[in-house]
Amino acid sequence: MFYLIPGLGADERVFRSILPLLHGDTHVLHWLTPEPDETLPHYVARMAEAIPPEQPCLLVGVSFGGVVALEICRIRPLARAVLVSSVPDASCMPPLLRLIRGSGVYKLFPPQWLKLFPRAGQWYFGVKQNEYPLFREILRDMEPRYTRWAIHCLLHWDSTSVGRSIQILGTHDRVFPPGPTPVDYLIPGGGHFMIISHAKEIAQILNQLVVEPDEVIR
């Protein structure tokens, strides 16, 4: 059983290439509208209502979706997190995001500004030219209230005592570049948008994790 969680501001469209390749039941979890001043644990508890407590499953989170997957695992002990283009704990945040967090500059720019520079986003996220129309659609449909909330949660994530996970990362990921921490599966040439561009390779890994579940909890 797979539960798929898209990245920050994205939706089920990012899984359109990988969905036909996965073996077994698959469900996409949709982002909820944050309540005023809602904490990440409270938000995650609402999202987790879609997952039966007695259901063993793989939570496949992309980017910020990986953070949410790890948080869901705190309250769904039979779930196991698989991180795609994401980080296993807050200590793995790259220098650029630490700088953005420390300076507070993200508070000065409304999320709508992201939509004004799609080509810069294309470079930063490693979006190939044939994927650019989809990327622009997702960027256009980003909801400002959710986006502002999610950016704050990502930058101030408290990952203390977070559980184990399986990390799938691309060698060319500019958002979460590979660092000194070992990566379980490194995808050659994969960027931050590799859930689209490298769907076949990622699907092979996920299907193997279903066949060999012990691999998920090593």
Domains of the chain (ranges plus CATH)?
A: 2-217 (3.40.50.1820)
- Residues 123 and 140: their CA atoms lie apart, in Å, by 17
Q: CA angle 119-128-137, nearest 5°?
A: 60
Q: Please name the helix (run of DSSP H) or strand (run of DSSP E) that holds residue 22, with its range, or none.
A: none
pLDDT tens for the chain, 218 residues long, are 999 999 988 899 999 999 999 998 999 999 999 999 999 999 999 999 999 999 999 999 999 999 999 999 999 999 999 999 999 999 999 888 888 888 776 665 666 666 667 888 888 888 989 999 998 898 888 888 898 899 999 999 999 999 999 999 999 999 999 988 899 999 999 999 999 999 999 999 999 998 775 544 43
Q: CA angle 28-34-35, nearest 5°?
A: 140
Q: Tell me: the pLDDT tens digits for 171-189?
A: 999 999 998 889 999 999 9
185 φ, ψ (degrees, to nearest 5): -135, 115
